[in-house]
Amino acid sequence: MKNRIDSRFEALAAAGRTALIPFVTAGDPDPAWTVSVLHALVDSGADVLELGVPFSDPSADGPVIQAASERAISRGVNLRRVLEYVREFRRKDSETPVVLMGYLNPIERYGYADFAQDAAGSGVDGILMVDCPPEEMENLRGDLDDHGIFPICLVAPTTTEARMDAIAAQARGYLYYVSFKGITGANRLEESSLVDPVRILRSHSKLPLAVGFGIKSPESASAVAGLADGVVIGSALIAALEGADSEQDACARAANFLAPIREAMDNSHS
Amino acid sequence: MSIESSTAEPLSFEPDEYGHFGPYGGTYVSETLIHALDELKEAYFRWRSDDEFMARFDSDLANYVGRPSPLYFAKRLTEVAGGARILLKREDLNHTGAHKINNTVGQALLAHHMGKTRIIAETGAGQHGVASATVAARLGKSCVVYMGEVDIHRQAINVFRMKLLGAEVRPVTSGSQTLKDALNEAMRDWVTNIDDTFYIIGTVAGPHPYPVMVRDFNAVVGREARKQMLKQYEALPDVLVACVGGGSNAMGLFHPFIADDDVRMIGVEAAGKGLHTKHHAASLCAGRPGVLHGCRTYLMDDDSGQIEHTHSVSAGLDYPGVGPEHAWLKDTGRAEYVGVTDDEAMEAFHQLTRLEGILPALESSHAVAYGMRLAAEMRPDQTVLINLSGRGDKDVQTVAELEGITL
C-alpha cells in the first residue's frame, strides 16, 4: 500500500498547493478532545498532522511544548494511548497522513518491532524522533520499513552539505527543515534567511521540503509557503488551545487558529 | 613534585567512531547539535594527541588544581572496619573540593582553543557548577550554570560560590527540578547559542564525545592512584570503590585499571531509601537500557518510557541515568555495581569525619560505606582503595537539617 504521505504531497504538488502541517501534543489540553481536535484541524485546512508523543525530558522543545507534554503525562497519556487516538481518528479519516513526533525512549520501552506493527495497524504513516539522527536509526529502520512507516528526518541550519546527502539517503516522505538554531517556539525566524538553505537543500534531495520552528502567524506562514512545500506550526497552535474549557471550544480554537493561516498560504500562490 | 604525563599510555576500551560502547553510548541528539558535536570531536581528538596542549593540561593540574592528590592510609577507619587495609584517594583536596575540576580544566582549555567565548554547564550538587565557574573566571569567559530549583535550595553554599566567581546561576523549574532537568535546559541553551558557546558537561554521560572526553580528563585520578600503589605498596589494590551518579569519578579511577584483571572495580549507586522502594537513583542496579540525554544507557523510567524522578540524600548522585561506559562495564562483567542507602551513607559520613578528621561529600560517603563493609569481609593483607571524590563542606547544611539541627 502506498504511504499516505507520498499520496498527499503528490496531490498537493499537482494542485500547486503548499502543505499545512499543524503539530499538537497528544492528550493536551484534554485527552478526550484530541481526536476531535485533529478532525477540526483537517476541516480547517491541515494536509498532514504531526502528533506529539509526550516525553518527560523534551530537551529540544521550548516552554510551550514542554508544558503541554507535562500536562499530557500527568493525565496518563503515553505512546499506547497515542496509538489509540490515531486508530480512532482513522475511523473517519483514512486519507490525512499522521506523523508521530517525539523522543526515542518511549519507543525503546515499547519495543521497536511491536511499536512498528502497532503503529502501522493504528494508521500511523511516519515518525519523527527528534533525538534519533540517521546514524542511530539503523535498528529501528528495519522495523519501520517492514510496516511501511516513513522515518521523517530533520535538517538544520548547521547541517553540512555532505550530511544533507546522507540524510536524504535515509529520509522518506518529506524533509523537515528546522528554520533556526534553537528550540521549538522561539521567536527567531526571519523568512529571508530561508532562501539560501532551501535552495541548497533542494539540490541534495527531491523530497518535499517542510519548514518548521518559529512560524506563528498567517503572515510568516504565507512567506514560508512561497519557498517550501510544507509549513509546520506547533507551539503557537498549542498556545491557542491552552485554556479551552470544552471539546467544542478546543475545536473552535483550532479552527479559528488554522483557517486564516490556510487562507494566507493559499493566497501567497495566487 | 612531578606529574605523570597524561599521554603516557594508549587509552584502551575506546568506543567506535560514533561513540558506542557495545550497545551503549552513541549520539542521540537533535540534528542542530550534530555539527557542534562533530566540531568538538574533531577538536578533542586533535588536541588530545597534541603534546603542547596536554603539557598545558598537566601543568594546570599540578599548579592550579594541586595534583597529584595523596593516596592516604585510613588507619583508624581500617581498624574499625576490621579487615582489609583502606586507602583513600584524596580528590577532596583538589582546588574547589572535588574531582570535578580535573574535567573542567580540560574542557575549558579545549573551549579556549576552539575560540568559544561563553561557557555553560549543568550542575546537581553544585560541584561541577563551581568547577566550571572557576575555570571560566580564570580564562575570562562568561559562564551560565543551570541548576534545578530543588538543588539550589539544598546546595545554597555552592550557589553563592558560583555567583562570587562571576557565573550566572539560572534556576530550572521544569520536571523534577534536579540535575536531569538542568541538563535538558543546558542543551536548550546550547542549541540556541551554538556558535559561541561551549557546553561543559560534568559527567561521563551525554552524546559522544563527552563520555570519552570526560573520562579521559578524569583518568588522571586512576593513573596517579595506580602509580602511587606501586610506589607506596609495591602492589595493585585488590578492589577499587567509587560512587556513581553519572559516574565521572568512578570512570576516572577505573579506566587506567581496566587491563588489570585482578583488580575488582565496584561502583556504588545511591540506593536512597532502599532499592526495593521507588526512592533511589540506582540506574545500573535497578534500571534498564534506554535513551536519555544523548546516549543509550541504563536509566530509570516507567513502563511508558517516561523518566522517573529519583531520590538520593546527595544531590550529585540524584540522576536517573549513568555514563554509557559504566553500562558496558556492567554488562561485560568487568565492573560490579551495588547500592548504598541514604542512612548507610550518613553513617559513613560521620565515621570518616570522627575517625580520620576528614569530612567527606555525601556522594563520596556512599563509596566509604561500601568500602568499609567490603573491607570487613577481606583479609588484612588485602587493600580496598576508595575514591574520596569530594569534600563535605557543601553538605553540612543538609546533614544538619536531616538531623534536626538548626545552625
Query: Domain residue spans in chain B?
Result: 21-64+100-214, 67-97+220-402
Q: Partners of B385 in the beta sheet?
A: B87, B240
* CA distances in angstroms from B309 to A43, A98, A249, B244, listed in the order given: 40, 31, 34, 17
* A133·B34 Cβ contact <8 A: yes
CB-CB under 8 Å, A181 with B191: yes
Q: Do A136 and B28 touch (CB under 8 A)?
A: yes
A163:B34 CB<8 A: yes
Q: What was the ipTM of the complex prediction? A: 0.95
- Active-site choice (B41, B89, B100, B330): B100
pLDDT of residue B3: 40
Note if B100 is an active site residue.
yes
* Residues in CB range of B221: below 8 A, 6 or more apart: B69, B89, B91, B99, B102, B249, B252, B253, B387
Kindly report, residue by residue over A169-183, the tens digit of the pLDDT. 999 999 999 998 888
| Grid-cell match 588485602, residue found | B382
| pLDDT at site A192 | 85
| Phi-psi sector, A86: left (phi>0), alpha (psi -120 to 50), beta | alpha
Amino acid occupying residue A154: L
Q: Are B205 and B293 in contact (CB under 8 A)?
A: yes
Q: Please give the average per-residue pLDDT across A20-40, as a whole number.
A: 98
> Above pLDDT 90, what percent of chain A?
91
* pLDDT for residue A57: 96
d(CA A38, CA A3): 19
Chain B: residue whose CA lies nearest to A80: B304
- CA-CA distance, A36 to A44, in Å (whole number)? 12
The one-letter amino acid code at B199 reads Y
Q: What is the CATH number of domain B21-64+100-214?
A: 3.40.50.1100
Contact (CB<8Å) A106/B187: no
DSSP state of A157: T
Chain A residues whose beta carbon lies within 8 Å of the beta carbon of residue B191: 60, 181-183
B128, B186, B178: which is closest to B154 by C-alpha? B178
Domain topology for B67-97+220-402: Rossmann fold (3.40.50)
Identify the pLDDT of residue B11: 44
Nearest to B32 among A63, A80, A178 (CB): A178
**Angle at CA of residue A123, ends A119 and A127, nearest 5°:** 55
B389 included as an active-site residue: yes
Kindly report the nearest CA distance between residue B28 and chain A, in angstroms.
5
Q: Which CATH architecture has domain A4-260?
A: Alpha-Beta Barrel (3.20)
Backbone φ and ψ of B123, nearest 5°: -150, 150
Continuous segment of H or E residues that includes residue B145: strand B142-148
Helix orientation angle between A161-170 and A195-202, rounded to the nearest 10 degrees: 60
CB of A60 within 8 Å of a chain B CB? The answer is yes
* A170 Cβ under 8 Å from any chain B Cβ: no
* CA distances in angstroms from B209 to B41, B45, B206, B254, B295, listed in the order given: 6, 9, 8, 18, 10
Mutation site for A-interface testing, chosen from B40, B185, B188 by largest number of A Cβ within 10 Å: B188
- pLDDT tens, A122-140? 999 999 999 999 999 999 9
Helix then strand then coil, in percent of chain A rounded to 5, is: 50, 15, 35
In the prediction, which pLDDT does A180 show? 87
Q: What is the pLDDT along chain B (407 residues), one digit of tens a residue?
A: 334 444 444 444 689 989 999 999 999 999 999 999 999 999 999 999 999 999 999 999 999 999 999 999 999 999 999 999 999 999 999 999 999 999 999 999 999 999 999 999 999 889 999 999 999 999 999 999 999 998 898 788 899 999 999 999 999 998 888 889 999 999 999 999 999 999 999 999 999 999 999 999 999 999 999 999 999 999 999 999 999 999 999 999 999 999 999 999 999 999 999 999 999 999 999 999 999 999 999 999 999 999 999 999 998 999 999 999 999 999 999 999 999 999 999 999 999 999 999 999 999 999 999 999 999 999 999 999 999 999 999 899 889 999 999 88
Q: What DSSP string describes B294-324?
A: EEEEEE-B-TTSPBPP---SSGGG--S---H
How far A60 CA sits from the closest chain B CA (Å)? 6
Q: Does A56 touch chain B (CB under 8 A)?
A: yes
Domain segments of chain A: what residues? Answer: 4-260
pLDDT above 90 for A54: yes
A74 touches chain B (CB under 8 A): no
C-alpha–C-alpha distance, residues B61 and A67, integer Å: 43
Interface size between A and B, measured as CB pairs under 8 A? 124
User: How long a stretch of residues is chain B?
Assistant: 407
A76 band by pLDDT with thresholds 50, 70 and 90: very high
B29 touches chain A (CB under 8 A): yes
pLDDT at B5: 44
Q: Looking at beta carbons, which residues of chain A come within 8 Å of B289?
A: 108
First-to-last CA distance in chain B? 41
Structure-block grid coordinates of residue B336: 560490579
Confidence of residue A269 (pLDDT cuts 50, 70, 90): low
pLDDT at B89: 98
Question: % helix / strand / coil in chain B, to the nearest 5?
Answer: 45, 20, 35
Whether A135 and chain B come into contact, CB under 8 Å, resolves to yes
Same fold, B21-64+100-214 and B67-97+220-402: yes
Strand order in the sheet with B197-200: B168-172, B142-148, B118-123, B197-200
Chain B residues closer than 8 Å to A78 by CB = 304-306
Q: Say whether residue B306 is in contact with chain A using an 8 A CB cutoff.
A: yes
Give yes or no for A78 touching B (CB within 8 A): yes
**Known catalytic residue at A61:** yes
Q: Would an 8 Å CB–CB cutoff place B327 in contact with chain A?
A: no
Interchain contact, A181 vs B34, CB within 8 Å: no
CB < 8 Å to B26, chain A: 135-136
* Contact between chains at A183 and B192 (C-beta distance less than 8 A): yes
